[in-house]
Structure 1
Amino acid sequence: MNDQEKTKPQLLNELLELRLRVAGLELLAKEYKHANEALQKSEEKFSKAFLASPDGITIARLRDGMIFDINESFVRITGYTRDEVIGKSVAELKYWVIARDRKKFLGMLRRKGECIGFATVFCTNHGKCIPALISARIITIEGDPCVLSVIRDISKLKTIEQALRESEKRYRRLFEESMDAIFYTTREGIFVDVNHSMVALFGYSRVEFIEKVNVTELYVLPGERERVLQKLEGEIGIRDYPVRFRNRSGGEMDCVLSAVLRCAEDGSILGYQGIVRDVTKQHRTEEAVKLSEARYRAIVEDQTELICRFLPDGTITFVNGAYCRYFGKKYEELVGRSFMPFIPEEDHEQLRAQFAAFNPKHPVSTHEHRVITPSGEVRWQQWTNRMIMDEQHRAVEFQAVGRDTTDRRMMEEMLQESAEKIKLFACSISHDLKNPAIGIQGLTKLLLKRHKDILDDKGRECCGLILKTSEQIAEFAEKINAFVAAKEAPLIIESIRLKELLQMIKREFSDKLDIRQVKWSEPENLSAIRADRTGLIRILRNLVDNALKYGGKDLTEIRIDYKESDDFHILSITDDGGGIGKDHCKKIFNPFQRHETSRGIEGTGLGLAIVKEIVEQHGGEVKVASSPEKGTTFCLSLSKHPCPRNLFRRDRTAYQGGGRLWTKQI
């Protein structure tokens, strides 16, 4: 039936059906459009995520592993370009380092349809192996099963993990090897961990601490832990808090506790971390030091000698009672002020110079100086000062002990005046005895010479007795002179650099040595000796002068040698001059004794006698060995421990010189 044969109702029905179909097609078109737009948006999102992801992403066919898309992060991580990867299979690229890992990964993927967080090692295009995590899922693209893989480079994460492990290892080592006892506890006092020092300090094992011991049991005083926690939680930590603990054997210990809170993320207190240090021995030592200081202070305060301490600028930091009484001042009036106002102004500069001479090698010095008493009287004091140094050997303070020496000095002056009178008297007696004796001796010899034949036996016998008596008188006079000459200044024993002393003597005689072309020889290495400096100079000067005077024209060398024994310093002075006869060697040290070869040479005959006396004052002896062929050697020994009766604190010559200050450094 064609359209013309159809009735109107039929045509209307067909038109209605046609309209319904068109409406359906329009609806389908709209739905398709919406779906297509949604798909485009989804693809855009996926594309953005695909391209922007920091992890490497690949899409490959499951059946042969051929890769048909990668993102930029994969290029960055593996070092492959896009052209080197697209169209290649995973097997061809060989970026799986461990083949069995790939096999295991694919097996899990096929069984489960996905594999999440598989750890393996990938090899980059440059041959570098990197640790990685790979996650993959099977997806269908255009009806073809594919694998979407995400590769994450975890090199930095591994580095961080290794650093954390090393840090934990170092911390654990510090924890275990610390000399201080370290612990962790809960808020209830249950031990979480303790180190070896904690075990050693308290005597409990680690297991006993964690399973059996509560921290409250360690406190000696009841309620002490509560007080510690109150302070700890109130101040968020404590440092060196004094606590008494009890160890496993019941012994009590003085300790200091340092602790901090251990808190959760929400700020709640989980427990405490602390360090315990046993200070029992330290406290006992401090108590002993305090007791010692109290005893020392009592001794210092009871001393009759003046004791003080002062800074390098002269500011007094301590004085004892004797010091206060001497100057008529209270302790508070002296400490914090300089002692220089007690010293006459004209002595200030010299005193400062004495203190400036202190050094690490000579930290002790004894000197005398004048002081002004509260009454205005000028008196003498002797002080022994010791320099106190810091670790850099710089002076930080001085400690001094002093005494008044005015009366002693006055007595010494009186003794000196008396000694001078005795010396003058002795010299006068010697002169008045010796000259007449020599005259009598000469007249008697002349009488025998001229009238020997006239005198009978009795007369000649009388002349012999006269001669003998006159010789005895002369000898007695010589002994008086020797006694007077020998009693010189008392010894001041100090450390002397022998090398410097010999060089000084050499310079003193350098002109004579050069003119006569006499060689000077001495050892290269000479140790310091302890002796009287002035006396040693006199000895060396007299012996060198003696060699130059009496060595004669044959003298070409003066040699000094040194050695030592357990008790003596031994010096020898040798010259290769004319020598001395054996007979004269025996009496050469007698006062006024002069050899017949000394005629026409200036001298008093006292030089060697002085040498002998000074050597004997040092507790030693002097000997001479000489022959005309070998020259002369004077050998002298000086005791390392001189007899105390020969020692005094002050040199007589310094006193006679009128100096205001005298100093000896050690």
Structure 2
Amino acid sequence: MITVLFVDDEPMLLELSKRYLETTGKFRVDTATSAQAALGKLEVSPYDAVVSDYQLPGMDGITFLTVLRSRYPDLPFLFFTGRGREEVVIGAFEKGADCFVQKGGAPKPQFTELMHKIEQAVRHRAAERELRESEQRYHAFFATTKDSVFITSDDSRWIDFNDAAIQLFGYDTRDELAAMHISDLYLVPEERQVHLDYIRGHGHSREYPVRLRRKDGTPIIALVSTVSVTDPAGGTIYYGTVRDITEKSRQDSLIRENEELFRNIVEDQTEFVCRFLPDGTHVFVNEAYCRYFGKTRDEITGHRFIPAIHPEDREQLRDHLAGLTPENPVASIEHRIIMPDGSIRWQHWSDRAIMDDQGRVREYQSVGRDITEKKETDRALRQAHQKLNMLSSITRHDIMNKLLTLRGYTRLIQEEAQDLEIRTYADAIDHAARAIDEQLQFTRDYQDLGMQAPAWIRVADILDQVKGQLELGRIRLETGLDGVMVCADPLFSRAWYNLIDNTLRHAPQATGIRVTAEEAGDTLLLVYEDDGPGIPADQKERIFDRGFGKNTGLGLFIVREILAITGMTIRENGVVGSGARFEITVPGGMYRKDAGKS
């Protein structure tokens, strides 16, 4: 609640203002009829904002503002006055007023505007104060720590650093160090990429040993602690510290350890690792790369070596490399190559363009692997799935025809047989036939479960789609999803269809369904609630078992199966008598928010 000190020499206006503001429940209003009285109250009680008339007895509004600013520089101050001359307005803002609202017109819109301006001013002043305090803490830490502190971008550019970093690297000025590409500060520039790959794999590095160099070329043995953070634009920013541990007694040992670490990381990988210039000249390849292409290291390094790219993939590869920019220096591609024996192999490559100061590509660093078996397996699976679907469709069609005939004759027996025992047998046959029919419908609806790649799906859109498929009748469906999107199987919509259908079937007295989203740590909770009778405690887990229930027994079972494909879980956590409550937990990385959508 916002506490406001309202200052005006008209008691009736003060009472009216107090009534309007406090009626909303957002404000608590105290009043004063003069600037002197207001200053006295400010000495006794804290307020979130001051609203004052310009024309006051003894001390006018501008003078009041001047005194207030000298004592309370961060307190929001708004003029609410009938004096709207240009010089008054200009004077108010020059003295530090946050807003100027002119009296006049209908009371309701006038006070609505005033309340909006108060809230806006309070938020703005609070944000300014928080920013200032944060900057003070930030600069204090930067200035006092003995370690070099840095903030860098994903393309190896400085964002910020402290004076200790300038001293560490031996540069004369901040601008001189800021102009350096960070990779060039490594004794071996390639080790910068190895370091970044480690951070990306672990999310951080703690006292990671690196070899750096000063401006004069002197080696620096250092421990770097770094954490990677995603900025609002989706880019990666690195925060960290550098501690100089250069000691002659340890230097040789640390260099040998780092060289061995670098060599092991690169040489022991089964992936192909290479670095090459824009003209195709290779400057580095690992052993796996040489084995794959059947060449020695000397045959490749220092020479233009371009594998035989499949003709249909050449343009795609050219566009891929041309698309690497300082803003987007990393990308992946899959393409085919023609081996020396004429066989065609599939490869997957992750390529990084290393740029110079002008943003031109200096070289490429690439990590690849052979994915031919995966491609062939995927193709075989697709073919098998297509054949199985075709066989299933034909078989299901034939069985449905037979079932139709069977149920038709069973219906005749039920209607015409005089013998009660025979009709009982016919009822049993019809019940079994209906169960078979439901199972066939199930196989038709869910034969593609898990066969397609998960996709990003906006939950609100799915609910709109399902709402159009079901007759909700008396039930009102409300959502509070704030643009939530999840990575899910394409049958995700069926899960929501079954949940709503479950309410329609088992909660005939329900009148409302609500679906909301809330973050819980690094996971997202999608909550489905209805106002039906709820689910007994001894059934909360059994309802997800296959075959449980009065109908097919497959509805909630298949909901859990669909969600499990992308690591989601579901449980029922409602209270009997208050309605069902299904909680779907979406793991981190499998959800996001689309701004502006609900």
Which TM bucket (shorter chain)?
Answer: 0.3 to 0.5
Q: Which has the larger radius of gyration?
A: 1
Q: Larger RCO: Structure 1 or Structure 2 (Cα < 8 Å, ≥ 6 residues apart)? A: 1
